[in-house]
Structure 1
Amino acid sequence: MEDRQGAEPVAAHAEPEGPDAATSQVGEIGRQAGRGLRWSVLGNLVMRVGSFAMSLVLARLLVPEDFGVYAIAMAASQFVIHINDAGIIAATVQWRGKLEDMAPTATVVAIASSTALYAVFWVIAPYFAQASGSEDATWVIRVLSATNVVYGLTAVRSAALLRRFEQDKLTKANLVGFLVNAPVSILLAADGAGAFSFAWGQLCGAAVTGVLVVAYAGVRIKLGMNRAVARKLLVFGLPLCLSLGIEGVLLNADYVIVGDVLGITLLGFYLLAFNISSWVPGLIGTAVRYVALPSFSRLAEENEESLSLGVRRAVPLLVSIVLPVAIVLGTLAPAVVVFLYGERWAPAAEVLSFLAILMVVRMLTALAFDILAAMGATKATVWLNLGWAVVLVPALMVGARVDGIQGAAIGHAAVAVLVALPLATLALHRAGVALAPIASALVRPLLGGVVAAVVMTALAQLIHGVALVQLCVAGGTGLLTFILIVVPQAALKQLGGRVSDLIPARSR
């Protein structure tokens, strides 16, 4: 906050101090973040619906082996994307100063990093594919990984939009890119391109999105190298980049291990289940991450009290949104898979039940990651992800060998709950975030989740046959139970009053 001086008394212009100041700061940033979040959610909702429709089509044009090959290529590409820009996007969003002063240097660093990484993965693609159980994935890896070069070229411009809470522009660019991705992928799949249909579709979509991001950002394209700026960017970005690289291992190690131990067909079933479990992280999680880092960065600039208050509001809300979906996926997995994709994909259900647990943990740890990054505690994110990865890899290997794809999913979920969550909590506590007040706010969501799970499980046992009936009766009743327990009665009455007001008087 700037000091105000002049003829009039300072007190007449002073900003509020103490709890009122923190609340005011959180409210203002919350309004900016809320607008960005609404656009992010809307865009992600449209894209997820479109992606879901596309997956239904591709699941009927392709075979599980094609999904398995794509899973290997995606594992390589997703690992690269986590370290692609050397942490420049986060460093740009968090930059304390004028964007124009650092943009030329940041652009050079991001382009150099993404290009060098693509060259490395071009060379090692055959070895990665062979180690993952399918040499056919080599060229799919090379094509799909090229999308990361596009992301490197546009990294600073994407960060500028996030920094200014202009998620509406970023959302529009992503939607147009998807409108290119979907028809390209479907047409190639219908023409017999197999796993290449995924790769070429994503590359074409990324190129179109990149052009629009550059146009929307309005940041002058200028290259330069200021050593002081570069040093400051890399001091912040490299630890974050290392942590994100480990996160890439966390998100994709199971594809490599399952493909190597169990073969490409079972990997295809595993990928389908993982994709279903990623619907909410993709829809809500991606939208939250678009606004979480800039929001918590602004709060961290003010004081720790503002940041802690923002965290106390965010965590219970996130849990209340994600938990009921996870319960539906976990308890009604067979009905979900069979209804959406058909009996041929039924083996994926045994995986989905446990990956639903992982979904909730991923959402919470991602939020913790953004909070730590906003505070500049990037080294803490490294230790968080490193501790998680060290335990996860052997757990996946043992689980896959003992109980197939279900064992791998159980290992993934167990490590997430028993290792990742405690490490995230510890990291936030050490960074100075007050977590104790959050516990009481989580009681109702957790209680509602337990009761809803019991209701869904009991009704699913009573209802057999048609998957849609199970989802409507068991799932609908369970969700209603969750809402009645978690949502305050005052809020329900207010919502009921608004619905009543919408009904014409004659129809009452």
Structure 2
Amino acid sequence: MTATVSSGPAAGRVSRGLGWSLGGTIAMRVGSVLFGILVARLVAPAEFGVYAVALTVWTILTTLADLGLGSDLIRARDMEPRAPTVATMGLGVSVGLATTMALAAEPIALAFGSAESTGVIRLMAVSIAVFGFTIVPSARLTRDFRQGALFGINGLGLLSSVVVALTMILAGAGAEALACGQIASQSVIALGLYVVTRTVPRLGFDPALARESLAFCLPLAAANLLSWLLLSIDNLIVSRTIGPEQLGLYVLAFNISSWPMSALGAAIRVVALPAFSQAATPRARNRGLVLCMAPLVTIATVISLGLAAAAVPLVTLVYGERWEPAAAALTGLAVFGGIRVLFDLVATFLIAAGETRAVLAVQVAWVLAMVPAMMIGADRWGLAGAGWAHVAVVAVVVAPLYLRALARVGVRTGDLLRPAALPILAAVPAAAVSVWVGGLGAGRLLTLVGVAGVVLVLYALPLLPWWRARFTRLRRLEPDPLPEGNPS
């Protein structure tokens, strides 16, 4: 992301922030995966499905609770005058949503066809109220590229979640244990943010600043809500179409497919937003996006290709034989997981450019296309159809809309796609050989090793010199020559 910053010291801060963000996010993801593996071996799929319902509702409402206020503070030239107003609005929204979630727990659970989820949904509402306290101090650390501090705080949150959840699971609790772990995690994170920033909650309200902030935030909040809605509405459709137990399998597959997004997308986003926002000129900002695309496509493809080709041995070896049906959904979802990383970077770029309405328009179209696609896919082809429905929608609907939005701010489609063509085309023979290896009927561990070897030998190693050259150019702020008159 350093290509978007013009000064040496700023570029160094971005590089250090990106390094901490990537390393910290990967470490956090590894910890979460290990915890998930342990939970999967202690909790039955039906119980995990109950928690998945509550987690779906929590994810949507937490996204809405942020309201885009954190992004507004990160983009602001001086965040301090805005902070008390933002804190007041954020806390009011989060407490209101938490109350609504608790009161509506029973009808929400019934809508998912899982009455057992009512109590867990009410428990999860507590963590939404706590979330409101984190908006301002989190934005302060992100704005200053203090990713090391954020990693430490989130690590303590994860540790508290593990301790609380495992203690309760071993004591005989089921889905409630996971919900209490989430409450513990959010509480520790909120406390840690204030300790590290050496601040205390400050509330206030300036009507003029509130109106200015909402003008930016409301389209972004709606876009974020729709973004999580389209990643959660599939849970509702799967649960109602093929049952809550199948939802547990589907959520496990979706979590695995999100590894690229968790390891790359989340780490890059928190650095990309301030980096793109602080670009000296629109041209520098646009070139930064173009330079980032090729290395990111390569890494996302490596991970997604491996997950898709080794779906069955990966699921059964890591989570156990009873989770094997989840592999049917994982193949398509793995492809979607890699695409999500790229789309997340594009959305972050558009937000930094002030194009929140464009992001909202894409999310609206995405949701409208996803609902019928998911209903048809799940009904006709079960878990596999649900997974591939995501890929069909992003290829036919979402990608063209994002390219059009980028063109409006000066990023030409050809400049963006040309660097990504080679890593995408190189994945085709590697994918074909990986499928052949998976069909040989060897032992699952041997198949997993074989697929990993194919991806390494036929894809990662041949592309390594090309990828290193692109990454070096990005770090040194050396863009590819652009055609004369290109506005990007």
Report the TM-score, using the length of structure 1 for normalisation. Answer: 0.89
Secondary structure class of the residue paired with 1:432: coil
Shift of 1:237: 0.7
**Could you say which residue in structure 2 is the equivalent of 1:5?**
none
**Could you say which residue in structure 2 is the equivalent of 1:8?**
none
**Could you say which residue in structure 2 is the equivalent of 1:243?**
223
Equivalent pair of 1:281/1:359 in contact (CA under 8 Å): yes
Shift of 1:28: 5.5
2:130 counterpart of 1:130? no
**Could you say which residue in structure 1 is the equivalent of 2:206?**
226
**Could you say which residue in structure 1 is the equivalent of 2:477?**
none
Equivalent pair of 1:355/1:412 in contact (CA under 8 Å): yes
2:395 counterpart of 1:417? yes
2:461 counterpart of 1:484? yes
One of 155, 169, 172 as aligned partner of 1:189: 169
**Could you say which residue in structure 1 is the equivalent of 2:290?**
312
Matches within 5 A, 1:49-448: 49-96=30-77, 98-219=78-199, 221-299=201-279, 302-448=280-426
Amino acid at match of 1:465: A
Shift of 1:439: 2.1
1:281–1:81 Cα change, 3 Å: same
Structure 2 alignment gaps of length 5 or more: 473-488
Q: Deviations over 1:293-326 (max 9, x none)?
A: 1111111xx2111011110111111111110111
Equivalent pair of 2:5/2:278 in contact (CA under 8 Å): no
In the alignment, the residues of structure 2 paired with residue 425 and residue 26 of structure 1 have an alpha-carbon distance, to the nearest angstrom, of: 29
In the alignment, the residues of structure 1 paired with residue 10 and residue 46 of structure 2 have an alpha-carbon distance, to the nearest angstrom, of: 47
Equivalent pair of 1:184/1:201 in contact (CA under 8 Å): yes
In the alignment, the residues of structure 1 paired with residue 394 and residue 380 of structure 2 have an alpha-carbon distance, to the nearest angstrom, of: 19
Q: What is the percent sequence identity of the aligned residues?
A: 34
In the alignment, the residues of structure 2 paired with residue 40 and residue 135 of structure 1 have an alpha-carbon distance, to the nearest angstrom, of: 39
In the alignment, the residues of structure 2 paired with residue 25 and residue 402 of structure 1 have an alpha-carbon distance, to the nearest angstrom, of: 52
Deviates more, 1:251-260 or 1:116-125: 116-125
Shift of 1:465: 3.2
**Could you say which residue in structure 2 is the equivalent of 1:498?**
none
Greater Rg, structure 1 or structure 2? 1
Shift of 1:443: 2.1
Amino acid at match of 1:87: G
Equivalent pair of 2:168/2:177 in contact (CA under 8 Å): yes
Deviates more, 1:226-235 or 1:215-224: 215-224
In the alignment, the residues of structure 2 paired with residue 99 and residue 319 of structure 1 have an alpha-carbon distance, to the nearest angstrom, of: 34
2:444 counterpart of 1:467? yes
Q: Deviations over 1:170-199 (max 9, x none)?
A: 111000111111121112122221111111
In the alignment, the residues of structure 1 paired with residue 17 and residue 312 of structure 2 have an alpha-carbon distance, to the nearest angstrom, of: 36
Secondary structure class of the residue paired with 1:57: helix
Deviates more, 1:390-399 or 1:450-459: 450-459
Shift of 1:485: 3.0
Shift of 1:95: 1.0
Equivalent pair of 1:444/1:485 in contact (CA under 8 Å): no
Shift of 1:219: 4.2
Deviates more, 1:416-425 or 1:234-243: 416-425
In the alignment, the residues of structure 1 paired with residue 271 and residue 126 of structure 2 have an alpha-carbon distance, to the nearest angstrom, of: 27
Shift of 1:484: 3.0
In the alignment, the residues of structure 2 paired with residue 490 and residue 305 of structure 1 have an alpha-carbon distance, to the nearest angstrom, of: 24
In the alignment, the residues of structure 2 paired with residue 23 and residue 275 of structure 1 have an alpha-carbon distance, to the nearest angstrom, of: 31
In the alignment, the residues of structure 2 paired with residue 490 and residue 267 of structure 1 have an alpha-carbon distance, to the nearest angstrom, of: 38
In the alignment, the residues of structure 1 paired with residue 10 and residue 371 of structure 2 have an alpha-carbon distance, to the nearest angstrom, of: 39
Deviates more, 1:400-409 or 1:62-71: 400-409
1:324–1:370 Cα change, 3 Å: same
Amino acid at match of 2:236: V
Equivalent pair of 1:332/1:471 in contact (CA under 8 Å): yes
Equivalent pair of 1:26/1:306 in contact (CA under 8 Å): no
Shift of 1:34: 2.0
One of 13, 23, 27 as aligned partner of 1:32: 13
In the alignment, the residues of structure 2 paired with residue 206 and residue 415 of structure 1 have an alpha-carbon distance, to the nearest angstrom, of: 33
Deviates more, 1:385-394 or 1:123-132: 123-132
2:431 counterpart of 1:453? yes
In the alignment, the residues of structure 2 paired with residue 107 and residue 474 of structure 1 have an alpha-carbon distance, to the nearest angstrom, of: 49
Amino acid at match of 1:82: T
Secondary structure class of the residue paired with 2:177: helix
Amino acid at match of 2:310: L
Root mean square deviation, CA, Å:
1.8
Structure 1 alignment gaps of length 5 or more: 1-21, 496-508
Secondary structure class of the residue paired with 1:25: coil
